């Protein structure tokens, strides 16, 4: 059985969990706080990041959310998530990198730092200026997502792909942390409402991080 090292608000672990859910791969959750830099965890992954997946029976350790997703895409035929032509697959990977790097760096990382890590590690309250800047950037990202969804059925093209999963993973963490204003983003809102009712998404939406509570609309399919 696979074990997935993660914590409830890690967007990269959510991306992996959504993919595993769609592909029907079973796994056990292992709670890991990467900021604690536990020795045993650093032995497992010298980068010290979640997610990490381990299958002790197979003797396999997988590190880095994209390497993990590509692994299951290659080994599990069910529900291909990087499919189509080579150029179409490149477009999916471009968008995954966009959400994992730009959306994460502009929006999710500052929100996680201000509203979660600062509280846990330093017992400090968040910096309002940083929060406002992250929300402004979230808005710009959602304008781009609106634009994509005005031209395509899904973010990466005609079918649901890993681009949608990566986007939903990051957006859901930003929404939990109060960083998303849905006003004026009907295309993204419709797309995300559909995502929220997928069986792969429901378990994630019901989990809580002890130190910070989500806004009331967070787990409602109708918001």
Ligand X SMILES: N[C@@H](CCC(=O)N[C@@H](CS)C(=O)NCC(=O)O)C(=O)O
CB atoms within 10 A of CB 38: 13
Residues in contact with ligand X, counted by CB under 6 A, come to a total of 15
Q: Which of 3, 33, 66, 159 binds its own copies (CB under 8 A)?
A: 66
CB-nearer residue toward its own copies: 47 or 121: 47
Q: Which of 4, 18, 20, 50 binds ligand X (CB under 6 A)?
A: 50
Q: State the Cα torsion 89-92-96-101 to the nearest 10°.
A: 90
Q: Using the rule CB under 8 A, is 64 a contact of its own copies?
A: yes
Q: Are the CB atoms for 167 and 145 separated by under 8 Å?
A: yes
Geometric angle at alpha carbon 205, from 31 and 9, rounded to 5°? 40
Residues 6+ away with beta carbon under 8 Å from 2: 20, 25, 26, 27, 28, 53, 54, 55
Q: Which of 36, 42, 67, 211 binds its own copies (CB under 8 A)?
A: 67
Q: Using the rule CB under 6 A, is 64 a contact of ligand X?
A: yes
Q: Are the CB atoms for 78 and 101 separated by under 8 Å?
A: no
Q: Using the rule CB under 8 A, is 57 a contact of its own copies?
A: no
Q: How far is the CB of 154 from ligand X (least distance, A)?
A: 21
Q: Which of its own copies, ligand X, none sits in contact with 38, Cβ below 5 to 8 A by type?
A: none
Residues of this chain that bind its own copies (CB under 8 A): 46-47, 58, 60, 62-64, 66-68, 70-71, 74-75, 86-87, 89-91, 93-94, 97-98, 102, 144
């Amino acid at each position: 059985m696979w074990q997935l090292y993660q914590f409830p608000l890690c967007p990269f672990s959510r991306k992996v969990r959504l993919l595993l859910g769609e592909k029907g791969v079973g796994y056990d959750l292992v709670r890991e706080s990467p900021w604690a830099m536990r020795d045993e965890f650093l032995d497992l992954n010298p980068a010290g990041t979640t997610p990490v997946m381990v299958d002790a029976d197979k003797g396999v350790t997988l590190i880095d959310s994209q390497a993990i997703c590509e692994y299951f895409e290659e080994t599990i035929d069910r529900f291909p998530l990087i499919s189509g032509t080579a150029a179409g697959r490149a477009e999916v990977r471009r968008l995954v990198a966009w959400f994992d790097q730009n959306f994460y760096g502009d929006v999710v990382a500052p929100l996680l730092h201000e509203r979660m890590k600062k509280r846990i590690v330093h017992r400090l309250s968040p910096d309002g200026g940083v929060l406002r800047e992250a929300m402004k950037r979230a808005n710009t990202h959602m304008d781009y997502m609106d634009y994509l969804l005005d031209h395509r059925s899904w973010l990466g093209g005609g079918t649901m792909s890993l681009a949608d999963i990566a986007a939903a993973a990051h957006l859901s963490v930003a929404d939990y942390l109060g960083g998303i204003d849905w006003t004026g983003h009907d295309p993204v809102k419709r797309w995300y409402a559909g995502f929220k009712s997928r069986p792969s998404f429901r378990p994630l939406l019901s989990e809580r991080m002890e130190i910070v509570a989500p806004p009331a609309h967070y787990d409602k399919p109708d918001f």
